[in-house]
Amino acid sequence: MTTYYVRPDGGDASQCDGRTDSAYSGKARGCAWRSPAVALPASGRARIKGGDTLRIASGTYDIGEDGAMQPIPSGPAAAAPTRIIGKAGAKLVGTHGIHRVLNLDGSSNVEIGHLEITDDSDCVHKHAEPRVACTPAMPWARVGLYARRSHNVWLHDLDIHGMAARGINAGGLRDWTLERVRLNRNGTAGWDGNVEDAEPNSGRMIFRDIEIGWNGCGERVATGEPWACWAQQSGGYGDGLGTTRTGGQWVIEDAHVHHNTSDGLDLRYMDGADSTRVTLRRIHAVANAGNQVKVKGNALVEDSVLVGHCSYFRKRFFMKPGDLCRGDGSTLQLVMTGHDTATVRHNTIAGEGAAQIGHSEGDASDHIQVSDNLVIGFPNALRPGNQSAFNAGKSPARRSLSGNQAWDVAQCPDGASCGQNPKLSVMKLDAFNARPLPGSPAAGKVGAPPCGTPAARR
């Protein structure tokens, strides 16, 4: 296995062999390459092999002048991955309208870490507003990282932002792990699992310490601010994370999912198999325009704060009224398939949709367990004069509620006490803070445990 180097003062393939972390001197071959695209040219053979390491020094590297880079070579085994590792300040900038900055089409046994990935234009791919849409003259790129039929991949310490379309476009995956990854302000979606000719995902899909925000919005290059937010009514999309039909065991922990122009986490297309399961822990989802969290099949949602401020985008940017509070705006939506168990426990759930916990589909063999949650209702954004419900839906699943507290919900269900103000720090949707005040009847009893407590780390 060989280590290769990239640095801004390196040379091209005719000048340097990439094996030494030094500048191109004008004479010696023992020097670094000037771009990752030298290692992975758009055409011809890759200059690194499976199991090699490519180390990228601090600096900005434009990707796309000669086309998109070819796929990263697969490592020989999960324990011997091909590694693409940046140093602090390493930044890949997509240009020339390329489809993808990093390419994992068929790439397995790969580690990618410590990189910023973006483009250099404010534009959004195929935006309905002509002044926002990308043109060939602009320095833009469509997707930050693309993957298909890809197994045993570890992505860590990545900041993928400001892409004209999607931060990550990936499908047909098995055994992927993301840690400390940010997907923010990408023009149509943060993570889009819709990939052509890709089979459903399988294996363990692990997401830890992630942020997914402002997707469905463009990004101002000069300031990093979101702009031009749009969604499905105008031809956009807007999920923070969305998939097509998928299997696997999904675990998402310590995630901040916010201000996406459709659903926050959309796992509506889980295949419902007995071996398929979604586990969500310590999710802070707020101000997504659809459901904050949507999940199908066997599921566990715990220790999370879900705030369904689904009307946040009203009269903002290019959002339409029909984009707001889609799916009735239920803060948490459970979709059953038969013989499923969905457990919702130790969460703080608030919102302005039809219900805080919605449920649909399935049959009488399903079981929904709701325990020790704090649920707070607000006026229904879609039906003025009505209050949001604790739970509602048409699923025939058996429902077990116990130990819950609720406040300002349309009706108090069995398994909940509804007579006491929970006294949280801020109980307004636009600045909701779930931390209990001194004397709160919810403290230590129901709802999401405060950050930093032993219960929050379980």
- pLDDT class of 457 with cuts at 50, 70, 90: very low
Compute the average pLDDT of residues 45-56: 99
Hunting for tokens 């020339």 — which residue is that? 96
State residue 327's pLDDT score: 84
Return the pLDDT at 220. Answer: 99
| pLDDT beyond 50 at 454 | no
* Percentage of the chain exceeding pLDDT 90: 96
Stretch 340-350: mean pLDDT = 99
Q: What percent of the chain has pLDDT over 70?
A: 98
Task: Look at residue 28 and tell me whether its pLDDT is greater than 90.
Answer: no
Higher pLDDT among residues 455 and 102, named by residue: 102
Q: Which whole number is the average pLDDT over 404-424?
A: 97
Residue 340 has pLDDT above 80, yes or no: yes
- Give residues with Cβ within 8 angstroms of 444, minimum separation 6: none
- pLDDT score recorded for residue 450: 72
pLDDT at site 236: 97
Q: What mean pLDDT is predicted for residues 305-319?
A: 98
Mean pLDDT estimate for the chain: 97
160, 182 Cβ separation under 8 angstroms: yes
Average pLDDT over residues 379-403: 97
Dihedral sign, Cα of residue 17, residue 22, residue 24, residue 29 = negative
Please check the confidence at residue 458 and state whether its pLDDT lies above 80: no
Using CA of residue 194, residue 197, residue 199, residue 203, what is the dihedral sign?
negative
Task: Assign residue 14 a region (left: φ > 0; alpha: ψ between -120 and 50; beta: otherwise).
Answer: alpha
pLDDT at position 451 is 61
